[in-house]
């Protein structure tokens, strides 16, 4: 099958969510008009996630996996997805199912005109502390990047693969994906998507890596912006 769209799903100790993840993603890829497949990336899980992932991929032709030798973090898992995708478009979502793969169709409607389309979580179903720390972190990040995005922590995104592959990833850069597309003179837009409470497993981000960590990463982004190489070929012969 000539796939057009790969959905990257980083996974770390999410054994309790994987059955429902399989159900929702398999239902989505079977009905969406865009020919889609799924790449599950096991970021060194210590629970039964890998066993379940292999079973899922055995049952579903459109599902594939990568397994890290050890836990390397979310940015590394996303980069591995960027490196191994072979379709013109790629998407990204978390395995906790606080966003729905069905909403990828909302983002795909705009990807022709734009190079990155990101969701913005409407009516978030998180705790007050989590919502407040995310709001503060987003405000700090916008001050540094001027990307105009209200919710870069939303995991639901669609990116043209050629742009994703040119992003020089470092740990924490998953929060700066829209800004890194702007450095390539790409076009970005945010679209409201649904948000759901987590029903299984545990959140992997606390106050430190939701608020203080991103503040430190902003300075790394400024360094990269100053050093970033971007060029356009006018003619070749």
For residue 91, give every residue at least 6 positions away whose Cβ sits within 8 Å of its Cβ, in sequence order, or none: 5, 6, 7, 8, 36, 104, 107, 156, 157, 158, 159
| 236 is a domain residue | no
pLDDT for residue 202 = 64
Q: Cα 210 vs. chain centroid, distance in angstroms?
A: 16
Which residue, 176, 173, 184, is CA-closest to 152?
Answer: 176
Q: Is the pLDDT of residue 128 over 60?
A: no
Residues 6+ apart with CB under 8 A from 216: 172
Higher pLDDT, 222 or 90: 90
Give the pLDDT confidence score for residue 121 in this predicted structure. Answer: 84
Residue 55: which CATH number?
3.90.550.10
Is residue 177 in a domain?
Answer: yes
Residue 234 lies in a domain: no
d(CA 8, CA 41) in angstroms, rounded, equals 7
* Residues above pLDDT 70, as percent of the chain: 88
Q: What is the mean pLDDT of residues 42-61?
A: 97
Buried b vs exposed e over 187-220: b needs ≥16 C-beta within 10 Å?
A: ebbbbebbbeeeeebeeeeeeeebbebbeebbee
Which residues does residue 190 pair with via DSSP β-bridges, in sequence order?
118
- Structurally, the chain folds into a number of domains equal to 1
Q: Is residue 11 part of a domain?
A: yes
3-class DSSP state of 36: strand
What percent of the chain shows pLDDT beyond 90?
A: 59
Task: List the domain range (segments joined by +) for residue 171.
Answer: 5-227
What is the structure's pLDDT at 150?
Answer: 76
- Report which of residues 82 and 126 the model is more confident about: 82
Residue 232 located in a structural domain: no
Burial of 229 (0-12, 13-18, 19+ CB in 10 A): exposed
With respect to residue 16, please indicate whether it lies within any of the assigned structural domains: yes
* Structure tokens belonging to residue 83: 């490196």
Distance, in Å, from the CA atom of 13 to the CA atom of 42, rounded to the nearest integer, reads 8
């Amino acid at each position: 099958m000539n796939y057009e769209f790969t959905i990257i799903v980083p996974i770390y100790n999410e054994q309790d969510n994987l059955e429902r993840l399989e159900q929702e993603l398999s239902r989505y890829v079977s009905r969406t008009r865009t020919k889609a497949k799924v790449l599950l990336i096991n970021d060194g899980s210590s629970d039964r996630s890998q066993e379940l992932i292999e079973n899922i991929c055995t049952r579903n032709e459109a599902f594939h996996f990568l397994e890290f030798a050890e836990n390397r973090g979310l940015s590394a898992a996303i980069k591995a997805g960027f490196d191994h995708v072979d379709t013109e478009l790629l998407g990204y979502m978390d395995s906790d199912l606080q966003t729905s793969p069905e909403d990828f169709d909302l983002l795909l409607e705009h990807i022709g005109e734009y190079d990155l389309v990101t969701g913005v979580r409407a009516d978030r179903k998180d705790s007050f502390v989590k919502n407040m720390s995310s709001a503060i972190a987003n405000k700090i990040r916008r001050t540094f990047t001027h990307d105009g995005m209200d919710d870069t922590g939303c995991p639901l995104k669609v990116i043209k693969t050629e742009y994703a592959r040119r992003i020089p990833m470092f740990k924490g850069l998953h929060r700066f994906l829209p800004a890194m597309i702007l450095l390539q003179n790409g076009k970005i837009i945010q679209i409201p998507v649904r948000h759901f409470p987590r029903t299984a497993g545990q959140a992997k981000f606390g106050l430190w890596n939701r608020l203080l960590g991103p503040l430190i990463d902003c300075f790394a982004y400024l360094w990269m912006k100053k050093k970033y190489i971007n060029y356009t070929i006018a003619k070749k012969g």
